[in-house]
Chains A and B, each alone.
Chain A
Amino acid sequence: MRNEAGRGGGGYLAGVRAGLPFALAAGVVAISFGVLARSLGWGVLAPIVFSVITFSASAQFAVAAVLGAGGGVFAAIAAAVLLNARFLPMGAAVAPFLKCGPLRRALEGQAIVDASWALANRGGGRFDREFMIGATVPQFAAWIVGTVVGVLANDLVGDVERLGLDVIFPAFFLALLVVELKSGGRRAIAAAAIAAALAAALVPFAPPGVPVLAACVAALLGLRGRS
C-alpha cells in the first residue's frame, strides 16, 4: 500500500497548483461568510477564530444558518456535525495511503476537504496523499484571508441582502449537492429528494434548525439492499 513514494504525477506542489482555483472560490465564499457573520452580530474575533480552527464552509454556514434563524446551540452543533459526517467515509477511504502512526494519520486527516479529496482520488480506491495535502494548503490560506476581509470590509460591503449575498448560502450548498448527486447515483438522488420534501414540510411547524436535522433520516435509505 505504501509504494507511492516513487510514483510520478503526484507531489505537494502539483497538489497546490490544482488547489488554486478552489482557493479562489473558497476565498470568495469566506468573504461572504465574514460579512454574514458580522450581520448576525458575531463581532470581529469570533468569525475569524471560527475559520482558523474549524476550516469548514458547510459546518460554519450551518451554524450561521441555524443560529441566525433563532435556533438553539445544540441544533446548530448537531447540524454542523451531521453535515461534516461525510468526512468519516472520506477519511476511511484515504486511510491506507496516509503515513503510519495514529497521531500522524489523525493530523494528515485534517487535510481532508471536499475539493482536495476529489482531486486526490486516483480511481480504484487509490488516493494521492501528497496531492491531497498540497491542494488543501491554498484553500486553507484563502479561507482565513477571505474571512478576515469579509469581517473587516463589512462596512464597505454594507447590506448583505441588498447585494444578494444571502443566497450564497443556498447556492453554495446546491453546488456541493450537485457534486454529491453526480457521484452518489440513484440512492443519493432519492435521499436528497426525500430530505428536501421533509424539510419543506417541517418548516411551517417545527422550530428553526429542526427541519434540517429531521431531514437526515432520509439517509437511512442506505440501509436498504443495493438496487
Chain B
Amino acid sequence: MSALWVAIVAVTLASAAIKAAGPILVGGRELPPQVNAVIALLAPALLAALVVTETFGDDGHLVLDERALGVGAAAVALALRAPVLLAVALAALVTALVRLFG
C-alpha cells in the first residue's frame, strides 16, 4: 500500500501549500483577474465531473443504475433547499431501498 501513502503525504503537503499560498503571497495584492477567474471555475468543473463519473461510471462504461436514483433524490432534496446532510442521507437511503427491492 505504499502508493496510498505516497498519495496521502503528497496530497497533504499540496493542500497545506495551497491554503498557505493565498495568505502568504497575496497580502494586500490581488492575483491577475484572469488567473482568479480560471481558478474559481476549477471547483464547479471538477465537482460536476466527479458527480458524473461517480454516478454513471462503472468500470469504463456509462450505466444507469440505483446510484442515479439515489443521487437524483439528493438533487431534488437540494433543489427544495434541504440541508446537505439530509440530501446525502436520502441518496443513500433511496439507493439502498432500490437495491433491496429492485
Within 8 A of A (CB), among B27-62: 27-28, 30-31, 34, 36-57, 59-62
A39 to chain B, nearest CB (A): 14
The answer to whether B18 and A171 touch across the interface, beta carbons within 8 angstroms, is: no
Query: B37, A222: Cβ atoms under 8 Å?
Result: yes
- In order of increasing CB-CB distance, the 6 nearest A-B pairs are A91-B22, A222-B37, A164-B95, A164-B96, A215-B49, A171-B91
A49/B84 in contact, CB under 8 A: no
Chain B residues, Cβ within 8 Å of A110: 16, 19-20
| List of A residues within 8 angstroms of B70 by Cβ | 164, 167, 171
Contact status A212-B53, CB under 8 Å: yes
Closest to A198 in B: B49
- Partner of A105 from the list B11, B24, B49, B83 (CB cut-off 8 Å) is B24
Which of A73, A91, A173 is B7 in contact with, Cβ under 8 Å? A73
Show 29 residue pairs from A and B whose CB-CB distance is below 8 angstroms, ordered by the A residue. A24-B85, A42-B4, A46-B5, A46-B8, A56-B11, A58-B47, A61-B50, A73-B3, A80-B14, A82-B42, A83-B43, A83-B46, A84-B15, A85-B42, A85-B43, A86-B40, A88-B21, A92-B26, A96-B28, A105-B24, A109-B24, A110-B20, A167-B92, A170-B51, A181-B44, A192-B45, A194-B45, A218-B45, A218-B48
Interface of B is mostly: helix
For residue A221, CB closer than 8 A to chain B, the reply is yes
Name the A residues within 8 Å of B44 (CB-CB).
Answer: 177, 180-181, 184, 188-189, 191-192, 195
Q: How far is the CA of A85 from the CA of B11 in the complex (A)?
A: 12
> Per-residue CB proximity of A174-214 to B under 8 Å, as 1/0?
11111011001001110111111011100110001001100
Segment among A10-18, A62-70, A143-151 that sits at the interface with chain B:
A62-70
Q: Chain A's interface: helix, strand, loop or mixed, by majority? A: helix
B34 is contacted by which of A170, A189, A208, A222 (Cβ under 8 Å)?
A222
